[in-house]
Amino acid sequence: QPFKVLATETITGKALEADIYNAIPTEKVDGTCCYVTTYKGQPYLWARLDRKPNKQAEKRFKRFLYSLEDSKEFVWNVEEDFKPVPDTWIPAKDIEYSNGNPLPDENGHMPGWVPVEKNSKQYCWHSSVVNYEAEIALVLKHHADPGLLEISPVPLSEILEQTLELIGTNINANPYGLGSKKQPVHLLVPHGAFEIKNPPTLKQDDILSWFEGCSEGKVEGIVWHCHDGCLIKLHRHHLGLRWPLAETYLNSQPVVISFNRTKYDCDFEPKSLFHHFSNLDGQRFDRLKDIKFD
């Protein structure tokens, strides 16, 4: 898009309504959004797929946006205006409906999900972090010990109906330096997993100096989790700050691998991340980017 979105000094009505002052600030992790819900009778990982308008509808929508006629609302023809999506596609939960049809958001997209099949070519990095036989996912989260991260298999049933971020070698130019071309590493991070210990106040200057002046601020952004389920997101870009950074907060913390293979009946394929990580059980690395399998 040809325009920049920048933050102003005032807090939006939406954020105040959601009680942002009492929200939980968490690190915005730079990856691609995923969702865990049931498919074929078992918990599955789903990849984000937005249903987008076709060329004609896009032109109409852009004309409407640039005409800046606030009085009128753009009318979509949900049957005809959108590109086809796979039959398995489902709309995201918080989407609005009209006459039983999902409605697009203010960008003209319908956020939604498609299931990630085992050995999917299109979603190969997604499928590398799940094992449907053992019904587990590879998850990065805080260890019980403060200041320590942990990579471990988590039952998909435990993260059912949650959204997560897929991060790693082949996602968004790999801002955390995970793995390598020869040995890609990908992991799932549950949304809201990394609560910010010393957050800035909700003043623009404070947030700016927090991003620029402390190690905890070396993150892509902040997501405030409000009690009503509302998420308020602020990206470094919104303040004119650059991302990615050479050194990130996520990479300043040691990480331990906890993977007890004996808990699982199935054999992990020798080239799989599950096999590699199970061989590293109990090992500790200074940083995520130091994890090597050989």
The answer as to whether 94 is a domain residue is yes
Residue 32 and residue 125 in contact, taking contact as beta carbons nearer than 8 Å: no
Instruction: Find the radius of gyration of the CA atoms of the chain.
Output: 21
pLDDT, position 71: 59
Task: Please report, for residues 4, 147, 162, 174, the alpha-carbon distance to residue 187 in angstroms, rounded to integers and kept in the order given.
Answer: 30, 19, 15, 12
pLDDT, position 1: 47
The answer as to whether 162 is a domain residue is no
CB proximity list for 276: less than 8 A, separation 6 or greater: 183, 293
The answer as to whether 90 is a domain residue is yes
Query: How far apart are alpha carbons 287 and 148 in whole angstroms?
Result: 10
pTM, two decimals, is 0.94
The answer as to whether 55 is a domain residue is yes
Is 104 strand, coil or helix? coil
Residues spanned by the domain of 96: 51-110
**In this structure, what token pair is assigned to residue 276?**
């590699």
The answer as to whether 236 is a domain residue is no
Count how many domains the chain has: 1
The answer as to whether 17 is a domain residue is no
Residues in the chain predicted with pLDDT less than 50, given as ranges, are 1-2
The answer as to whether 56 is a domain residue is yes
The answer as to whether 59 is a domain residue is yes
